[in-house]
Amino acid sequence: MQWAGFHRKWLTLRVFVLGGTGLIGTAVVRELIGRGHQLFGLARSRASAARLDHIGVTSFPGDIRSPEPWLARLPPLDAVIHMACDFSTDMGAIDRHLLDRLLPALAAQDGRPRFIYTGGCWLFGATGDAIASEATPLHPLPAFAWMVPQLHRVLASPGVDGIVIHPAMVYAGEGGVFDRFARAAAEGKAIPVVESEAVRWPLVHAADLAQLYALALERGIPGESYIGAAIEGLPIGRIARAFARHYPTGHEAPEIVTADAIATELGEWARGYALDQRLSGAKAMRELGWTPRHLDPEGEILFGGPPKGADTK
């Protein structure tokens, strides 16, 4: 279906999601189904297919590593949202091969499908006190440098209406980027913080980020990028200490872990946890009407729940 202009909220869009069972994808799928859209989702395992089917997404067996078989069976689509990544050392090559096949397949569809590509805050590098916006030149973490040509490719692709979303660090309750903190706290251990308590992370709750994806789908401007940061930058020691107090662990001071140690444990990509960043979500708020509701993660940890009226997904 070809659409023009804005405010297509009343339309039911046929949307194919990649990564619909992930941290970001699960929230996005819930939001889009709640807004009445028709969802299809790639599933690389039976467990992933069952999770998608359970929430009303028609699952498509397939893997982003080998897109040819499932691309041959794509239904007519209004949009694709790409939120899949396996964080392996060959994730760049996997994504390049995927876009090599996916972009021409979408261009061959009737109409001009919208393609929402997921970038990330780590593409902006360490900003220090400066607040990065969509106009700030990218300075990617080396492990994610492959994403930069990919997103330029999406934005410039003649066959799709490309849009990029750069999520801040994503949390959901005690999950997402808070998962390691919460697990250590629950076990009564000191909370591991990479490099320094003063490192600032831009943050967004998964439910708020999902609203941004929906708005980008329904009214985003092709060729534009939007940063999904609800909180510009919060010193991570405050989050760690909030978990330590909430449980309580008896070890309020976090355990400082080096970036080298976290990279050895999780992979080079995990050096991003050491980036001191401030990012602005003002463009998405101003141009798309994005209204994040989770603005006090520290309070949510300490007092055990979201603010009144905020989504709990």
- Is 174 a binding residue for ligand NAP by CB under 6 A? The answer is no
- Is 99 a binding residue for ligand NAP by CB under 6 A? The answer is no
Q: Could you give the 3-state DSSP secondary structure of residue 285?
A: helix
Contact region for ligand NAP (CB under 6 A) — 58-66, 127-135, 243-251, 299-307? 58-66
Distance of closest approach, residue 6 Cβ to ligand NAP, in angstroms:
26
Q: Which of 19, 67, 125, 202 binds ligand NAP (CB under 6 A)?
A: 19
For the four alpha carbons of 50, 102, 115 and 269, in that order, the dihedral sign comes to positive
- Is 169 a binding residue for ligand NAP by CB under 6 A? The answer is yes
Tokens of 134: 């969509």
**Residues 176-215: x where in contact with ligand NAP by CB under 6 A, - otherwise, as a string:** xx--------------------------------------
Closer CB to ligand NAP, 84 or 288, in the complex: 84
Tokens of 264: 């050895």
Instruction: In whole angstroms, give the CA distance from residue 83 to residue 23.
Output: 9
Instruction: In whole angstroms, give the CA distance from residue 201 to residue 126.
Output: 10
Q: Which of 32, 79, 143, 170 binds ligand NAP (CB under 6 A)?
A: 170
Instruction: Give the CA-trace dihedral at 245, 248, 251, 252, to 10 degrees.
Output: 0
All residues at 6 or more sequence positions from 24 whose CB lies less than 8 Å from its CB, including other chains: 83, 118, 167, 170, 206, 209, 210, 213
Beta strand 161-167 pairing with 225-228: parallel
- Is 237 a binding residue for ligand NAP by CB under 6 A? The answer is no
Q: Which of 13, 16, 22, 67 binds ligand NAP (CB under 6 A)?
A: 22
Contacts with ligand NAP by CB under 6 A lie at 19-25, 42, 44-45, 48, 63-65, 83-86, 118, 120-121, 167, 169-170, 176-177
